[in-house]
Amino acid sequence: MARTLTPKRKVAFTVLAWVLGLLIFFPILWTVLTSFKTEGEAIANPPSFLFFDWTLENYTEVQERSNYLRHVINSVVISFGSTAIGLLIAVPAAWAMAFSPTKRTKGILMWMLSTKMLPAVGVMMPIYLIFRDLGLLDTLLGLTIVMTMVNLPIMVWMLYTYFKEIPGDILEAARMDGAQLGQEILYVLAPMAVPGIASTCLLNIILAWNEAFWTLNLTAADAAPLTAFIASYSSPEGLFWAKLSAASTMAIAPILILGWFSQRQLVRGLTFGAVK
């Protein structure tokens, strides 16, 4: 039986949740506010929180200097493309490991996870040279392949933990009813694992959207996504904090909106399975 909270405790927990939420959100809020300041106000000490001359000049400047729309399209193609390809590989892999485990399944899972333990820069040169020889540098195809490979272990792991929650007997019953392998995955397993698959997709899209090592190092002009767009406004010699904040706000806006609308699904998915 769930413990009932006294009104006092409820207020305390609510206040604590709000404080924590604001604390986590504050850097983003500050970035958004700075994007509406002049460069002079952006570095003012003490800083002004709300009472400054609001301006849109940074957004105008960023629009003039950069091809924002092209960066957005590149980000969408890379993050959604890598998620779609990753899903095609990860669902059957996770199905096999969850419902037909062998004595080496755990080892394979650990090995897959171990690829995430090596810093990306460790494999930078081989991948760069392979991409150069295959003509994949600064291409959307190349970036999509890399992002798929980078996030595949996480996708397999997440899906594996969700699939493990589904009773194998249901699948067995479907098989007894004459379902083929493809039908079993598509019509029986997938509908039951929708929250898990959805949250895996969302998390993967967010990870691919924010990835800033490969997207910076393997692109130049054609395939550069929003991470490269933000990076182009950083400067160690000259204060362009307001413009950098405007670029950052524009870069995070699409994914923030997507996250906002899908938060229920995301939370449901993340609290379902092994991490619940």
C-alpha distance across the termini of the chain, in Å:
19
Closest separation between CB of residue 238 and another protein, Å? 5
- 126 binds another protein, rule: CB under 8 A: no
Residues in 218-247 that interact with another protein by CB under 8 A: 220-221, 224, 228, 231-240
Closest separation between CB of residue 146 and another protein, Å? 15
Closest separation between CB of residue 79 and another protein, Å? 15
Question: Which residue from 20, 129, 256, 274 is in contact with another protein, where contact means CB under 8 A?
Answer: 129
Per-residue three-class SS string for 138-177: CCHHHHHHHHHHHHHHHHHHHHHHHHHCCCHHHHHHHHHC
Residue span binding another protein (CB under 8 A) among the ranges 8-16, 20-28, 128-136, 254-262: 128-136
- 43 binds another protein, rule: CB under 8 A: yes
Residues in 178-217 that interact with another protein by CB under 8 A: 216-217
Rounded to whole angstroms, the Cα distance separating 242 from 52 reads 13
Pick 143 or 228: Cβ nearer another protein: 228
Question: Which residue from 31, 55, 57, 70 is in contact with another protein, where contact means CB under 8 A?
Answer: 70
The DSSP 8-state label assigned to residue 211 in this structure reads -
Q: 210 to each of 174, 229, 255, how far by Cα in Å?
A: 40, 12, 9
Pick 1 or 220: Cβ nearer another protein: 220
At 222 the three-state DSSP class reads coil
Q: Is 135 left (phi over 0), alpha (psi -120 to 50) or beta?
A: left
Closest separation between CB of residue 219 and another protein, Å? 8
The DSSP 8-state label assigned to residue 106 in this structure reads H
Pick 96 or 212: Cβ nearer another protein: 212
- 64 binds another protein, rule: CB under 8 A: yes
Closest separation between CB of residue 265 and another protein, Å? 22
Long-range contacts of 170-177 (CB under 8 A, 24+ apart): 171/99
**CB contact burial 114-142 (16+ within 10 A = b; e otherwise):** eeeeeeeeeeeeebeeebeeeebbebbeb
Closest separation between CB of residue 117 and another protein, Å? 23
Note the residues at the interface with another protein (CB under 8 A): 38-40, 43-45, 64-65, 67, 69-70, 73, 125, 128-129, 132, 137-138, 216-217, 220-221, 224, 228, 231-240
